[in-house]
């Protein structure tokens, strides 16, 4: 067990640092906290410009093969890059879904000429991709989707609605999962496509979240026409394609959500309880210690996973642990930080509320964290069934044709 | 023994539910939340006409003299409807302070106007971060003038009158301050729950009149906070009940994997836990209203206990209501967040859980020592 | 809302107190804590003697009709009696199951001459009853029982095993639920009987619990012969009989399990943390306040229920709240009290461990509280389904004959 | 970076598992639990023969010199097997104290015997209720004699030698005391986990030899406790893992309502939560063994963090293991309670959660101040 780089790793780290030092600004604690808000056009432009610089310097697709514009590097190099990049102010990584999920799926299912056309522009940030799986009828139950795809000659006609699509409003292409046959068992009747998001028949509407931000969209399809050549996998084999996509879901980047433990400790130091610093209060100390133990536990779990990845293992269902623990912790820390402020805890003015009203902001964004990308409940199912091997729940939807499944009024 | 609301109270509850269904639908709450007004003035007028604002004000001062059981029934229903009105500030805090400490002439001057809703009053205690604490009062009172900064002041931009805690030569005293006078600057504050007004108020040599005996202000503050904690516990229980009902209804109607999500134990047990927390809070609130009505010696313990369980139950109910709704629960357009915001605001407004838990134990210690 | 007695209630309370004062000793905090251990012969004798005195004075069956030896009193009198009796040292109430569950079931299903024979002796404590429902194959799933009853002429022959039977070793009679037809749906094939516990073919073996005590038994039936006259309800109607029994499960008496809040406060006063009394530590105060709020909430919930009962309402599924909250609280308080003792927390010597090692005892008995009489999970199901009206879970056992149901290796 | 055990350690783990399966089945634990012996002497001899007792003792003192990674691997497996032996007392506490503070001749005298298992030693710190605290040491040491009462002393009836914390003219010092000498009375104590020996030891002018510098004893105590906390965290993680495996296996095999109980979300999610707690604890323990092996400046924080998560995870895993088993889980004959008892004992033995949580924050404060 050690934390030291090999000479090769150290050399790569030096190279990465040199690039970052020359091209970006080092973060400080006082850096504006990243708000989980709208990504506007200016931010998209900054993100593209950063991505192309990374690509030119060989830091965009570190583990990708050279034929796709990658560096052909090791998983450990990828980890080192992430560690180093996290220390600098960089635009939001709006390419994560495209490069982490969509393009790997394309590489698995698209034709060689399509790959020639799409992979490199995605890597350089010239073209942005989004993923169109979730629907209003079933957030947790992806296989229950209803968007219809009907074959008409060499084309498919798509009608329906997707929801919770990150970045749909600035994306150029999208990976789409549809129901091509409602008369058979639900997972058997799905077909996947990639689509041009600028096509006629697509309408993107931002979703106004309770926090006030709009990170997600609804996407409506009205007689969208998609050439059969853009189909991925066989008709009816969409579920398998979707699994490929979801398996490529990257190990959730170490997000450094704020407020973090250091923010909490600073808050507790700056406030008083009954005339003594809040940090001296045993009840406050107990909570900080518990959250520190969770935070540290996740950090070192990540090191264990990274060690496994660096040996060529693929990330497995045990990675559900990160979001499951973090989301509830984030909500609890936000609530607790507000409690420390007593009667003033509800005030959100950044001039009055400590640490830029981060605790109040977090109270309003954390509930979304417990839902997006798999609810707490789905993640516990995954851990129980796929890690511990407990039997699946009874299924109401196992043997019935899709169009005979019970459905509710909501 | 009879541990239930009276028949009169039950009738009042039905009347309140009918009135609020009509006059305080979710879109009325959203109007205030989205900044169209600092409170719902029409609803407030309606409540005044129903006689609710003076429910616990004696008839001698033009109140309805219905007592605290009635006040708590109303609070529960206002909590359920998330009513965006200065009920707690004007009725439970300011009017109670005047009732407790005011001279006969002050009572005659203000209570009838408060009961009729002609005057909105508030209670200005906090001076930034911190829980209620005598030593934290720094605003200065001298020679009929008051200077200092209070924030947050609930309903501070809409109230015309404030009961202000301030320090004078003899200690902490309370003062009545006309908020429309010279020397006062009011700033609306952004809040986790914009459906309730919060303000910062700067006083610079503003005219102020002593309320009660000089140096005895803190006793009144404690008395008023304890009493308001019980009424607020009902408001919180009302909100928790509404959030639980929302979640339960959604869990019955929403299907996933071919079955109602309410048939999954993860949802079932989550809602069973919310039910348990809410019922325990309700029972503690019942005991509180008994103590309030009887002005019992147990009131401080009953108040702290009721508040501790109600604040926890309301927050738990609202955060799990969002979770049960899933993605849509996190959208602006669904009402889940209205309850969540309110739950957190109410849990802080009279002081944090830490403060009230400490008070529970302090009261238990006194008892066990006796 | 008030806590005052009516004049009639006050008169009854005075009568009850006078009886108790004359016949029992008032409890003090220093009274030996009730241990949840074995009930030996001497204790059974004391219990019988107390019961007969109560019966003679009209306090044994307060709400029972006079024809059965009761007082014909009101539910409020019953409540007042319980409140008053709880202040005195009395033997364990080993008649609760018989009088609360078995005899009411007899009254509903047995023949008049049987009632003449059995009811009064039960009320006077001359005969003790137990309830034989649970089996090893399904603690939570009572309907899954396997004990076979086969009709042979005018008799039934019983073979099988029951478990978790309180008081089987000192009981005279028992209420027995059996499977008379394994070829039909599980709840349809059950038949109920009452049996003489001293019959040939019954073997009672105490269960050694993890706490060291033996409150429960296993009961084995080997060719036990039961006259058809002792059948309760029609053959195959046993589930309905069982429901009657379970619905009569009394509102769990206010048990005053120790350690209680007062014990915890005393412990916290007697110990020091970093040289200050533990009770002054904010982290300790926070926990005490939370448990006090739960305890008080249950107390006042009980008052609400009693008010409803006094108006003639029957106790409903919402009463699951009492055990659900208490059991976990008891476990948490025990664990916390031991933590307060630091390195010495594990020591159980009553001379060294404060308050007669009650906290350590409770740590070892509390896990059973979370299981016996309905697990936490079953109680949450009951609240969710029967109070909130949420839909039932999917049933694997709904439409299949009993002998075709899947069963595991345990 | 390489955040995993070495191949050598993995081989050692396999060897340990094989050995313990054979030499420490549940019935061996029960024999001690039920009072047939105060520890499993045969198992202890076997462990000595395998070289485990001296795993972290340098070869210069007849140890195996395998280092702390090896020691932690062994602790995890002993925890899994609930081994009823004085491993922590003799190997992690006493031997570490002698290594840290002993003179060269003391090391030469005792460490080889400890490594070979010829001598069992323990660490006598507690004097009744309380967490480790310098001011709580009242046992007196003067002129080579020691007087006072220590309880509980882990493995106090079976050890022949004790490292005792005592107060002398210069403050708190450590002394080596032969427990078989005159002036010593040992009383076995009833315990929540009778499968581990605990004793009260009265010293009346018993002969004692100074270990380390006079007045510097508390520094050694802290160092030894921190290091033992990391090794114990592995023992706890091993126990938690075993309890989780038991519960998972039972949930797959046990049927209710015609289906395995593990197919119900209530059971699934409970076990998922246990898994999460156990994995977080395991990762913190990994960091701990790194800090221990590297003798890193982060060791005190790593130790406190590892202990806080491991104590919680082990207790949670064992109490939910009973719950998943239902009625049979509460019987004496099922092994669930063995884990539950051990979990609580280990969570207290080196000081309570409160104590270690406080240490986490104290270390975080030091860091953030720097």
CA dist., res. B149 & res. B124, Å (int): 10
CA distance A307 to B183: 65
**Is there a contact between A178 and A148 (Cβ–Cβ < 8 Å)?**
yes
Which 3 state secondary structure label does DSSP give A205?
Answer: strand
- Whether C395 shows a pLDDT value over 90: the answer reads no
Closest CA to A100 of A373, A393, A402: A373
Average confidence (pLDDT) over A366-386: 94
> Is residue C318 pLDDT above 50, yes or no?
yes
**Nearest Cα residue in chain B from D264:** B265
CB atoms within 10 A of CB C154: 9
More confident residue, C311 or C16: C16
pLDDT tens-place string over residues D253-279: 999 998 999 999 999 999 999 999 999
> A57-66, A93-102, C28-37, C317-326: which range is least confident on average?
C28-37
The mean predicted confidence, pLDDT, of chain A is 91
Nearest-neighbour CA in chain C from A155: distance (Å): 41
Residue D306 buriedness (CB in 10 A; 0-12 / 13-18 / 19+): buried
Does the CB of A408 have a partner CB in chain C at under 8 Å?
no
What confidence tens digit (pLDDT) does each residue in D173-201 have?
A: 999 999 999 999 999 999 999 999 999 99
Nearest by Cα to D187 from D197, D178, D195: D197
Residue % of chain C over a pLDDT of 90: 68
The pair phi, psi for residue B174, each rounded to 5°, is -105, 145
User: Chain A 251-280, CB below 8 Å of chain C: which residues?
Assistant: 273
Of C273, C364, C409, the CB nearest to D192: C364
Residue A356 has pLDDT above 90, yes or no: no
Q: Looking at residues A133-143, what average pLDDT do you find? A: 83
What is the pLDDT at residue C102? 94
Q: What is the pLDDT of residue D229?
A: 98
Task: Report CA B95 to chain centroid distance, whole Å.
Answer: 13
pLDDT of residue D238: 98
> Using CA atoms, how far apart are residues B47 and A7, in angstroms rounded to an integer?
76
Closest CA to C221 of C183, C177, C279: C177
- Closest residue of chain A to C283, computed from CA coordinates: A283
Are A334 and A362 in contact by the 8 Å Cβ rule? The answer is: yes
- Residue B134 pLDDT more than 50? yes
Judged against a pLDDT cut of 70, whether residue A249 lies above it is answered with no
H/E segment holding residue A241? helix A238-247
Q: Does A396 touch chain C (CB under 8 A)?
A: yes
pLDDT tens for B75-114 read 999 999 999 999 999 999 999 999 999 999 999 999 999 9
Return the structure tokens found at C2.
């008030």
Model pLDDT, residue C137: 82
Tell me what ipTM this predicted complex has: 0.95
* Cβ–Cβ below 8 Å for B264 and D265: yes
pTM of the model: 0.95
d(CA D184, CA D177): 10
Query: Which of C164, C338, C397 is closest, CB to CB, to D327?
Result: C164
* Bridge partner list, A207: A216
Rounded CA-CA distance D240/D278 in Å is 6
Mean pLDDT for chain D overall: 97
Task: Give dist(CA A339, CA B352) in Å, integer.
Answer: 5
pLDDT at C34 over 60: no
Strands D209-211 and C155-166: unpaired
Q: What is the pLDDT of residues D122-144, one digit of tens each?
A: 999 999 999 999 999 999 999 99
Separation CA C383–CA B320 (nearest Å): 17
pLDDT at D13 over 60: yes
Residue of chain B with shortest Cα separation from D269: B266
* Separation between Cα atoms, residue B47 and residue B53, nearest integer Å: 7
Q: Answer yes or no: is pLDDT of A271 > 80.
A: yes
Query: Chains meeting D at 3+ CB pairs closer than 8 A?
Result: A, B, C
- Contact: B126, A377; criterion CB under 8 Å: no
Distance CA C55, CA C401 (A): 47
Is B353 within 8 Å of A339 when comparing Cβ atoms?
A: yes
Catalytic residues of A: 249
For testing contact with chain C, the best of D93, D130, D201 (most C CBs within 10 A): D130
Contacts of D104 (CB under 8 A, 6+ apart): none
Neighbour count for residue A96 (Cβ, 10 Å): 16
Are the CB atoms for D283 and A300 separated by under 8 Å?
yes
Q: Counting Cβ atoms within 10 Å, is residue A194 exposed (0-12), middle (13-18) or buried (19+)?
A: buried
Mind listing the pLDDT tens digit for each residue in B261-293?
Answer: 999 999 999 999 999 999 999 999 999 999 999
Residue B208's CB is within 10 A of a number of other CB atoms, namely 27
A333-337, C135-139, C380-384, range with the lowest pLDDT: C135-139
Residue C355 clears pLDDT 90, i.e. is over it: no
User: Could you tell me the pLDDT band of residue D363, with boundaries at 50, 70 and 90?
Assistant: very high
Q: State the SS3 of B216-274.
A: CHHHHHHHHHHHHHHHHHHHHHHHHHHHHHHHHHHHHHCEECCEEHHHCHHHHHHHHHH
Chain A contact set for C273 (CB, 8 A): 282
Question: Confidence class of residue C248 from pLDDT cuts 50, 70 and 90?
Answer: low
The pLDDT of C31-57, averaged and rounded, is: 82
A–C CB contacts, 8 A cutoff, strictly below: 19
DSSP 8-state assignment for residue D214: T
Q: What is the pLDDT of residues D270-324, one digit of tens each?
A: 999 999 999 999 999 999 999 999 999 999 999 999 999 999 999 999 999 999 9
Half-sphere exposure of A232 (CA within 13 A, CB side): 29
Catalytic residue among C249, C272, C318, C385: C249
> Which pLDDT band holds residue D369 (cuts at 50, 70, 90)?
low
Whether pLDDT at A376 is above 80: yes
C285 touches chain A (CB under 8 A): yes
B259: nearest CB among A163, A210, A406: A406
Tell if the CB–CB gap between D271 and A289 is shorter than 8 Å. Answer: no
CA dist., res. C153 & res. C156, Å (int): 8
Backbone dihedral angles phi then psi of residue B90, each to the nearest 5 degrees: -80, -45
Residue of C266, C307, C391 with shortest CB distance to B2: C307
**What is the pLDDT averaged over residues A395-401?**
82
Average the pLDDT over A182-196 and give the result.
Answer: 94
pLDDT band at B357 (very low <50, low <70, confident <90, very high): very high
C249 is a catalytic site residue: yes
Average pLDDT over residues A226-251: 86
Residue B117 gets the label, from left (phi > 0), alpha (psi -120 to 50) or beta, of left
**Which of C210, C341, C347 comes nearest D331 by C-beta?**
C210
pLDDT band at A215 (very low <50, low <70, confident <90, very high): confident
- Alpha carbon separation from A219 to A168, A204, A205, D346 (Å, rounded): 7, 5, 6, 55
Which residues on chain B are in Cβ contact (under 8 Å) with D265?
Answer: 264-266, 269
CA distances from B229 to A146, B151, C251 (A): 50, 19, 31
Q: What is the helix (H) or strand (E) element at residue C142, kind and residue range?
A: none
Residues of D in contact with C357 (CB under 8 A): 190
Strand ranges in C118-227 using DSSP code E only, listed in sequence order: 129-132, 148-152, 155-166, 173-179, 190-196, 202-207, 216-227
Split at pLDDT 50, 70, 90, the class of A252 is very low
pLDDT, chain B, mean: 97
Residue C317: what pLDDT? 83
- Contact between B88 and B228 (Cβ < 8 Å): yes
- According to DSSP, the β-strands at D161-168 and A276-277 are unpaired
Is B184 within 8 Å of B177 (Cβ atoms)? yes
Q: Taking residues B219-246, what's their average pLDDT?
A: 98
- Position A12 pLDDT exceeds 60: yes
Nearest CA in chain D to B269: D266
Nearest chain C residue to A282, by CA = C283
Tell if the CB–CB gap between C390 and B265 is shorter than 8 Å.
no
D 246-305: CB under 8 A from B: 264-266, 269
Confidence grade of residue C243 (pLDDT, cut at 50, 70, 90): confident
What's residue C252's pLDDT? 45
- Could you give the C-alpha distances from B14 to A36, B26, B76, C307, in angstroms and in order? 43, 19, 12, 21
pLDDT at C244 over 90: no
Best probe of the D interface among A296, A318, A323, A376, by most D CBs < 10 A, is A296
Reply yes or no on whether the pLDDT at A262 is more than 50.
yes
Q: Give residues with Cβ within 8 angstroms of B60, minimum separation 6.
A: none
In a 3-state reduction of DSSP, which class is residue C173? Answer: strand
Q: What is the mean pLDDT of chain C?
A: 91
Please give the average per-residue pLDDT across B169-193, as a whole number: 97
**Are the beta carbons of C239 and C143 closer than 8 angstroms?**
yes
What does the pLDDT read at residue D58? 96
CB C322 within 8 A of CB C256: no
C-chain residue closest to D124, CA distance: C343
For the segment C164-203, what is each residue's pLDDT rounded down to a tens digit? 999 999 999 999 999 999 999 989 999 999 999 999 999 9
**Per-residue pLDDT, C78:** 87
CB C98 within 8 A of CB C128: yes
List of chain A residues whose C-beta atoms are within 8 Å of the C-beta of residue D251? 390
Q: Give the count of Cβ contacts less than 8 A between chain B and C.
A: 160
């Amino acid at each position: 067990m050690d934390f030291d780089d090999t000479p090769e790793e150290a050399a790569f780290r030096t190279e990465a640092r040199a690039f970052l030092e020359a091209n970006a600004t080092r973060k400080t604690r006082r850096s504006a906290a990243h708000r989980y808000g709208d990504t506007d056009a200016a931010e998209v432009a900054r993100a593209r410009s950063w991505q192309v610089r990374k690509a030119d310097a060989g830091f965009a697709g570190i583990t990708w093969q050279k034929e796709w514009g990658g560096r052909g590097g090791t998983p450990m190099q990828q980890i080192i890059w992430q560690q180093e990049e996290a220390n600098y102010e960089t635009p939001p990584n709006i390419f994560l879904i495209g490069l982490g999920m969509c393009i790997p799926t394309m590489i698995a299912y698209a034709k060689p000429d399509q790959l020639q056309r799409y992979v490199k522009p995605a890597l350089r940030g010239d073209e942005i991709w989004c993923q169109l799986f979730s629907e209003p009828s079933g957030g947790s139950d992806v296989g229950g989707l209803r968007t219809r795809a009907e074959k008409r000659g060499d084309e498919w006609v798509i009608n329906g609605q997707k929801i919770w699509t990150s970045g749909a409003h600035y994306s150029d292409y999208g990976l789409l999962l549809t129901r091509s046959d409602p008369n058979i068992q639900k997972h058997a009747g799905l077909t996947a496509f990639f689509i041009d998001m600028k096509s006629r028949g697509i309408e993107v509407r931002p979703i106004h979240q309770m926090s006030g931000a709009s990170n997600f969209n609804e996407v409506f399809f009205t007689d969208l026409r998609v050439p059969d050549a853009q189909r991925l996998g066989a008709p009816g084999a969409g579920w398998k394609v979707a699994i490929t996509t979801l398996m490529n879901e990257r190990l959730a980047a170490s997000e450094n959500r704020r407020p973090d433990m250091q923010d909490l400790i600073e808050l507790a130091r700056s406030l008083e309880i009954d005339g003594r610093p809040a940090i001296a209060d045993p009840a406050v100390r107990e909570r900080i210690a518990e959250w520190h133990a969770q935070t540290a536990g996740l950090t070192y779990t990540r090191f264990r996973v990274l060690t496994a990845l660096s040996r060529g293992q693929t990330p497995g269902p045990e990675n559900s642990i990160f979001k499951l623990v973090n989301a509830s912790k984030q909500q609890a820390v936000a609530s607790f930080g507000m409690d420390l402020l007593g009667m003033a805890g509800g005030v959100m003015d950044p001039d009055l509320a400590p640490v830029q009203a981060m605790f109040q902001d977090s109270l309003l964004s954390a509930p979304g964290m417990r839902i997006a990308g798999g609810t707490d409940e789905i993640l516990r199912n995954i851990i129980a069934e796929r890690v511990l091997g407990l039997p699946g729940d009874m299924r109401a939807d196992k043997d019935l044709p899709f169009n005979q499944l019970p459905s509710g009024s909501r | 023994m009879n541990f239930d609301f009276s028949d009169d109270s039950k009738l009042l509850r039905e009347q309140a539910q009918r009135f609020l269904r009509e006059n305080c639908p979710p879109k009325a709450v959203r109007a205030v939340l989205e900044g169209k007004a600092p409170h719902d003035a029409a609803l407030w007028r309606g409540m005044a006409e129903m006689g609710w604002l003076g429910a616990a004000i004696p008839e001698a001062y033009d109140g309805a003299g219905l007592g605290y059981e009635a006040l708590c029934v109303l609070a529960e229903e206002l909590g359920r409807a998330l009513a965006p009105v200065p009920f707690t500030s004007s009725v439970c805090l300011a009017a109670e302070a005047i009732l407790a400490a005011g001279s006969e002439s002050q009572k005659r001057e203000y209570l009838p106007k408060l009961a009729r809703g002609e005057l909105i009053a508030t209670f200005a205690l906090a001076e930034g971060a911190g829980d209620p604490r005598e030593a934290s009062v720094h605003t200065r009172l001298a020679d009929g003038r008051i200077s200092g900064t209070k924030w947050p002041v609930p309903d501070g931009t809409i109230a015309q009158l404030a009961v202000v805690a301030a320090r004078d030569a003899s200690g902490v005293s309370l003062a009545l301050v006309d908020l429309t006078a010279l020397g006062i600057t009011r700033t609306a504050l952004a809040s986790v729950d914009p459906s309730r007004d919060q303000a910062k108020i700067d006083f610079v040599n503003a005219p102020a009149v002593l309320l009660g005996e000089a140096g005895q202000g803190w006793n009144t503050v404690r008395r008023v906070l304890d009493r308001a904690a019980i009424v607020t516990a009902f408001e919180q229980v009302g909100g928790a009940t509404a959030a639980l009902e929302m979640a339960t209804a959604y869990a019955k109607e929403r299907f996933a994997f071919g079955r109602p999500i309410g048939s999954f134990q993860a949802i079932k047990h989550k809602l069973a836990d919310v039910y348990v927390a809410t019922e325990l809070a309700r029972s503690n609130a019942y005991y509180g209203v008994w103590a309030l009505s009887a002005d019992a010696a147990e009131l401080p313990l009953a108040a702290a206990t009721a508040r501790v369980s109600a604040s926890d139950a309301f927050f738990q109910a609202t955060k799990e209501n969002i979770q049960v709704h899933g993605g849509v629960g996190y959208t602006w357009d669904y009402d889940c967040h209205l309850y969540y915001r309110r739950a957190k605001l109410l849990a802080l407004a009279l002081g944090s859980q830490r403060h009230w838990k400490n008070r529970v134990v302090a009261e238990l210690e006194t008892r066990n020592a006796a």
